[in-house]
Amino acid sequence: MAKPVRIGIVGVGSLSLRGLLPHLTQSDLAERVTITALCDPVPNRATAAADRFNIRHVFTDYTELLACDEVDAVTLATPISLHFEQGRQALIAGKHVHFNKTMTTSADDATELITLANQKQLKIVASPGEMLRPHNQRIKEMLREGAIGVLCWAACGAAFGTYHESEKERQGPDVLSNVDPSWYFRIPGGGPLYDMTVYALHALTGILGSVRKVVALSGTRITERSFQGRAVTCDAHDNTVMLLDFGESLFAFAYGTAGGRITYGFNGSYFGTTGSIVGFTYNGLPLDYPGAEIARKVPRPEGVEWQGQIPGNQWLLPHITEAHREIPEQHVFEDIMQLVDWIREDRATIVTAAHARHVIEIIEAAYRANQEGRAQILRTTLENGPAVSSCGSS
């Protein structure tokens, strides 16, 4: 029997406090994974979390965590702008890595990490694993089967709203309840494309395949937000609309905006010559997929806006047993468990770094298309391949 994977959590912010720590310290995981270390630069935050969840090692210096011989793998729950360098250091130190979305902010950086992991014979999993969801797998099958005729176009996206300002881990006075969300609104790494639309793009490309070309308009609509009474200057683009070319005249509209939505949650809308799949409906009727009856019976948490999502779909992820059903962030926990299983059983996951790299290049290309005023040709695909250079243009 393989030993439990010893994980260090890097970044003790809202994601870790409400999701990763509660999930990964459940007793049903004791034989598979254990949290051995926490790291956060905010004084006393990691210590306070370690006391709450009974974690042995605490660090404020990331290099000290990487030197700990009781850590086999790290999960990076830190600002996106830090992921490339933190991931690179972890791989050099011989640690497997889970990246919360996104792995990097450029395709070239993602390729460097993929190459380094291969050289070191280490495993990396990059969230989000949207194709683990039964409804996305079923939609892919239906389109392949011609359920809506010839697919003509699709749409996907997400909006920021005030989600991050409203999270409960940011409303209090102490170190575990005053987590600053400012990085979400600043470059590099901020904005709804990296934070939210990334889910929709992973599902869209997982279903339709690789994007060939991107055109876009993008800018900053909300230039100032607030956190605990102080102003937060926002320079990350929060209003981006994209047209994606999949080849053979199949196009998609994608968006990451400051507010509003035209799709349902992170689910795409697919329109064909004889019908449509919109959110969780097929030609206006409930979409049938494995586990749908279970998912629809799960009540929506009171006071939570699900924006067209079905809460019970979280229960259909492979590792969401009863002990994990009421804990938030099941999807991130699932991706970490994909890495754990891969390490322990040498069973590769469908949540690939190559897929994550392709979505990163779509986002990168959208910003470049806006800046240059012309379409961007993508060089990556969903599949593993040789190193790529920066996005081309046409």
Tokens standing for residue 32: 């598979």
Give yes or no for residue 391 having a pLDDT over 90: no
Question: Tokens representing 394?
Answer: 């046409």
pTM of the model: 0.94
| Mean pLDDT computed over 267-296 | 96
130-317 is a CATH 2.60.40.1260 domain? no
Task: Decide: helix, strand or coil at residue 379.
Answer: coil
Q: What pLDDT does residue 156 have?
A: 98
Mean of the per-residue pLDDT values of the chain: 94
Q: What number is the average pLDDT over the span 3-10?
A: 97
Domain map of the chain by residue range? 130-317
15-23 average pLDDT score: 98
| Distant-in-sequence, close-in-space partners of 118: CB < 8 Å, separation ≥ 6 | none
| pLDDT of 291 | 97
Q: How far apart are CA 297 and CA 308, in angstroms?
A: 15
Residue type, 156: C
DSSP reduced 3-state for 155 = strand
Enter the tokens of residue 191. 């904005």
Residues written for the chain: 394
What does the block give as tokens for 247?
Answer: 């080849």
**pLDDT tens digits, one per residue of 350-377:** 999 999 999 999 999 999 999 999 999 9
List Cα–Cα distances, 277 to 71, 252, 285, 314, in angstroms.
44, 14, 9, 20
> DSSP string covering 12-23, please?
-SHHIIIIIHHH
Sequence letter at residue 301 = P
- Confidence class of residue 383 from pLDDT cuts 50, 70 and 90? confident
- What pLDDT, in 10s, does the model give residues 58-105? 999 999 999 999 999 999 999 999 999 999 999 999 999 999 999 999
pLDDT grade for 305, boundaries at 50, 70 and 90:
low
Average of per-residue pLDDT across 20-42 = 98
**pLDDT value at residue 309:** 78
Q: What is the pLDDT of residue 386?
A: 36
Nearest to 356 by CA among 382, 331, 333, 335: 382
- DSSP, residue by residue, 365-382: HHHHHHHHTS-EE----S
Sequence-ordered list of residues with C-beta below 8 angstroms from that of 325, at least 6 positions apart, any chain: 314, 315
Position 304 scores a pLDDT of 59
Q: Could you report the per-residue pLDDT of 191-250, keeping only the tens digit for each?
A: 999 999 999 999 999 999 999 999 999 999 999 999 999 999 999 999 999 999 999 999
Contact 33, 340 (CB under 8 A): yes
